[in-house]
Each structure stands twice: as C-alpha cells, then as structure tokens.
Chains A and B, each alone.
Chain A
Amino acid sequence: MTVDEETLTITCTVNGEAVRDVVPVRRSLVDWVRHDLGLTGSHVGCEHGVCGACHVQVDGRVVRGCLMLAVQADGARVETVEGATRSGRVAVLQDCFFERAALQCGFCTPGILLQAAELLEHTPAPDRAEIRAALSGNICRCTGYQAIVEAVEEAAGRLRA
C-alpha cells in the first residue's frame, strides 16, 4: 500500500460473514468487494450511477456500488449476488433467467437480479410495465430486455405459487 493514502478500518458482514478490513477511504464499495474481497459478481460499467451493473445490497436495499464508499458500509450488512444466490427470490430469478435465456454476455445480470429481487419483495405481482419501470436504471446492451421482463414475470409467478 502506498504511504500517503488515508485508510479506515471497517467491520461489517458481507454475505453473512463478518469482515474486518483496512480500506482506502476513497475506494468505492464495488471496487472493495470486487478487488479486496474477490467478490467479482458485481461489475463496474460506468462509475457514475447510470448503468446498474454495480448493484449490491446494503442493509436490505439495492444501491449503486459505485456511488457508495466502502467505508460507508462500516457496520452494515452487505449482500452481493454471490451471497444472494443461495436465497429464495434470487435463486428463483436465476432459474427463470436461465430457462428464458435472459442474458447474453451476463455483465448486466447480477445487478438486474438484485433489482428484480427488490421489486418482487415489495410488489409480488408486478405487471410488465412495472417490471420495466423497476429495471429502468439497469442497462443491458445485449438483450432486447424482453427476455428479462419475461423471466422476472415468470419468477414472480413461481414465487407466488
């Protein structure tokens, strides 16, 4: 580590595990989970809040990982796609994305899964317009979004069943 870089020691839980780390204060949350914790499922697509590839969950809510500093997660409960994979909503969404081929390069996918899971948490039976609105902050440059919308719709159905 370079000498003149201000750091702070933080403790938090990441995907259920307690983590303690010395973090440069200017490191973004997404860079920290990716490069220091090796959780590379969250991606970096723009670093200015527009694309949603960097989504992580902090204390149960989806946030832009590029717009939060890692030190701001001190004491928080952080969940990334790697951790969420084991849980209910995201697991069902993953099945539906898989079956419907709702991803191509997959770079946008983790961010979209987390956002869709949050939607289904508060809106268990969204219509397609609501799904599109909820995902309006996530860029997917490969698909036509339609497979994604259909996969989320299908997942909502399965979760209600």
Chain B
Amino acid sequence: MKPARFRYLRPETLEEALAMLAEWGDDAAVLAGGQSLVPMLNLRMAQPAVLIDVNRIAGLDRIEIIGERLHVGARARHAEVLRSATVARAAPLLALALGNVAHEAVRNRGTFGGSLALADPAAEIPAVTVCLDGAILARSSTGERRIPAASFFEGVYTTALRPEELLVGVDFAPLGPDFRFCFREVSRRHGDFALAAIAFAGRIEAGRVGECRVVFAGVEESPRRLAAVEAALAGAAVSDEQAWRAAGDGLGAVLDPIEGAEYPAAYRLLLARNLLLETRRQLEEEAAR
C-alpha cells in the first residue's frame, strides 16, 4: 500500500503554485493537509502525475478579519480554526462544527480549504460554509473568482473549482449579534464522518425564529440551504414543537438522501428530522439559561 510514482512540486509562492497549476491542470493534485489525499494515494485510488504541495506558501493559513468579513485561509489547519479566538467571535458555528471533525492528530494537519475542495458529502466544513453563505476564493494565474458556497458544491467529490484554480480561502460576512447557532451531528463513533449533521443559524427575536438557515451534512450528496424548511421555520416560536415537527415532516419532500445498504435513504431522512428537533431543544435550553 504505497503510492504510485508522482512528480513532487513545492512552490514557495502563490504565483509559482498558480503557474504550476496552469501548466499541469488535470494531471496535478494539490497537496494540502493530505489527510484525505494521501490515503487515496496510498491506496492508489488517486494516481496524479504531479503533486503540488502548497504547505510552504506563506500567508495561505491566515485567519483574520478583513474589513467586516472573516477570512479563513485555505491552509488554516482544522486545529487552528478550532482554537482561533477570531473564529469563535466572528463565526462560532465554524468552531462548533470543527469539534466534530476527525481526531486531534488529523486536525493538526487537515485544512479548511482541503475539506472544501474535497467535497465529501459527510464533511462538516462544507455544510457550515454553505450555512454561513461563505464566499469561496478561487485563484488562478488569470485571476480570482468569488464563488458563493451555494454554487460551489456540485456533487460527491465534485466542486466548481477548475483544474487550474487554487482554493485560497473563504470569506464570511458577519451575521448579526442576534443570531444563534447550532451544530449537531450523528456519527457512528467519536470523530467519524457524519451520518447526518445539521448546521443551523437563525435570528431569534422574542423567542421566535426570524431569518434562518438550515443545512445538512451527510444526508444529501452536497450540502445546500433548504429554503422550504427555512421558510417553514421563519416566524415559528422556539417553544412551538408542533411547528418544528411540521417542518421536520416536510423534509421528506425536500431532501434527496444518499441511498446505501447499511444506511438507507429513509434512515438519513429520519436522522435529519430528529436533528432538526434536537436543534429546537437546544435553542430552547440555551434560551432558558
């Protein structure tokens, strides 16, 4: 179980990396944290001709507030995002989600951008990025695109990223101080990928949900905001279990869950519904405090 041969390129600057990507395109794989790519290399499920290791490029791991917006660099390690005081203040949902990602040693290497570029349906980071309406910054030698998270994920392990593009970071616009966040996950064992997870962000005013966002991970092939559910919840009281149940019951019409032998679609749907109800309970408990 050793990787097939590849050429190893190690750009020191962003410009170099982009030039390499322009040259190699589809034949290259970007090596970020390697926590998903290297297993695939070891298993020879991935056999890229060239690896472009972006770990030496200065500044790609920055976590900072630029203007109003939180910027998370593509190479920010999971462990850094999890511990970042800036993230905790500006986008607490990220930290809540990151606590569910893998194990310490994996978080020490795995990167924010790598998780987005991978687009595993069961990954937490894509779901929260969609939930927070992040703008994904894709850079190529010809320029930069800001891709709204809503249109970034195109399917299982497929994204809007072009072969010559490097994901350099994500920008998050601030949500108001009256927003509440919730992230809950069902995974088989501690640190496993999600069988289902919910990311919730919502304005709560006088015990009622205002504007809100609901995204699942692990349920469908790609994370997306569920407008119908968000609409159903808007205006509902946190204490109104009936309304939330109704929204949960509506999920069947909205979701197209992943089918599988061990975890059939109906099961994931059930998990999604129960996660929504748990979200309500958590909001209620938090309000009571």
Asked whether A and B interact, the reply is yes
B246 within 8 A of partner (CB): no
Residues of chain A within 8 A (CB-CB) of B34 are 67-69, 72
| B residues near A25, Cβ cutoff 8 Å | 6-8, 51
With A72-B53, A137-B191 given, is the CB distance from A67 to B103 under 8 Å?
A: no
Interface centre among B10, B42, B51, B191 (most CB of A within 10 A): B42
Known: A62-B108, A63-B105. 11 other contacts (CB 8 A): A5-B5, A6-B7, A8-B8, A63-B109, A64-B35, A66-B38, A68-B34, A68-B109, A71-B10, A119-B104, A134-B104
Can you list 21 A-B contacts (CB < 8 A)? A5-B5, A6-B5, A6-B7, A6-B8, A25-B8, A25-B51, A26-B3, A26-B8, A49-B38, A52-B105, A61-B108, A62-B105, A62-B108, A64-B35, A66-B38, A68-B34, A69-B8, A134-B104, A136-B191, A137-B103, A137-B104
Question: How distant is B168 from chain A, measured CB to nearest CB, in Å?
Answer: 20
In the complex, what distance in Å separates the CA atom of A76 from the CA atom of B191?
Answer: 28
Chain A: number of interface residues, binned into ranges: 20 to 34
Distance in Å: Cβ of B244 to nearest Cβ of chain A: 30
Name A31-85 residues within 8 Å CB distance of B. 31, 47-49, 52, 55, 61-64, 66-69, 71-72
Given contact pairs A6-B5, A48-B39, A71-B8, A136 touches B53 in the complex (Cβ within 8 A): no
Q: Shortest beta-carbon distance, B42 to chain A, in Å?
A: 5
In the complex with contacts A25-B6, A136-B190, A68-B104 CB distance below 8 A: no
* A118 touches B (CB below 8 Å): yes
Bitwise interface map of A from 87 to 106 toward B, beta carbon under 8 Å scored 1, else 0: 00000000000000000000
* Contact of A115 with B105 in the complex, beta carbons under 8 Å: yes
The answer to whether B38 and A26 touch across the interface, beta carbons within 8 angstroms, is: no
Which residues of A sit under 8 angstroms from B42, Cβ to Cβ?
28, 47-48, 66
List B contacts of A6 (CB < 8 A).
5-8
Once bound together, how far apart are the Cα atoms of A116 and B5, in whole Å?
A: 35
Total contacting residues, chain B, CB less than 8 A: 31
Most chain B CB within 10 A, of A47, A49, A72, A119, is at A49
Q: Which residue of A lies closest to B105 (CB)?
A: A62
Is A18 in the interface zone, CB < 8 Å from B?
Answer: no
Contacts of B53 in A (CB 8 A): 69, 71-72
**Least Cβ distance of A21 to chain B in Å?**
15
CB within 8 Å of A: which B98-116 residues: 102-106, 108-109
Please determine whether A63 and B108 come into contact, CB atoms closer than 8 angstroms.
yes
Q: State in angstroms the CA–CA spacing of A138 and B103 once bound together.
A: 9
A123 to chain B, nearest CB (A): 11
Residues in chain A near residue B35, CB distance under 8 A:
49, 64, 67
Report if B189 contacts A (CB, 8 A).
yes
The 5 A-B pairs with the shortest beta carbon distances in the complex, nearest first, are A137-B103, A25-B8, A48-B39, A136-B190, A67-B38
Q: Are B103 and A52 in contact (CB-based, < 8 A)? A: yes
**CA–CA, A62 and B106, complex, Å:** 9
Q: Which residue of A lies closest to B53 (CB)?
A: A72
- B106 / chain A contacts, CB cutoff of 8 Å: 49, 64, 67, 137
**B89 on the A face (CB < 8 A):** no
Kindly state whether residue B156 has any CB partner on chain A within 8 Å. Answer: no
* B38 in contact with A61 (CB, 8 Å): no
With both beta carbons as reference points, the residue of chain A lying nearest to B83 in the complex is identified as: A122
Q: What chain B residues lie within 8 Å of A8 (beta carbons)?
A: 8
A133 at the interface (CB under 8 A from B): yes
Which B residues are CB-close (under 8 A) to A68? 34, 38, 109
- Would you give the shortest CB distance from B127 to chain A, in whole angstroms? 21
Docked complex Cα distance between A80 and B233 (Å): 53
Please indicate the chain B residues that have their CB under 8 angstroms from the CB of A4 in the complex: 5
Minimum C-beta distance from B4 to chain A (A): 8
| Most A-side CB within 10 Å, residue of B39, B55, B102 | B39
Given A61-B108, A72-B53, decide whether A136 and B103 contact each other with a Cβ distance below 8 A.
yes
Question: B2 near A: Cβ within 8 Å?
Answer: yes
Please determine whether B189 and A136 come into contact, CB atoms closer than 8 angstroms.
yes
Within 8 A of A (CB), among B14-36: 31, 34-35
Inter-chain contacts of A26 with B (CB < 8 A) = 2-6, 8, 41
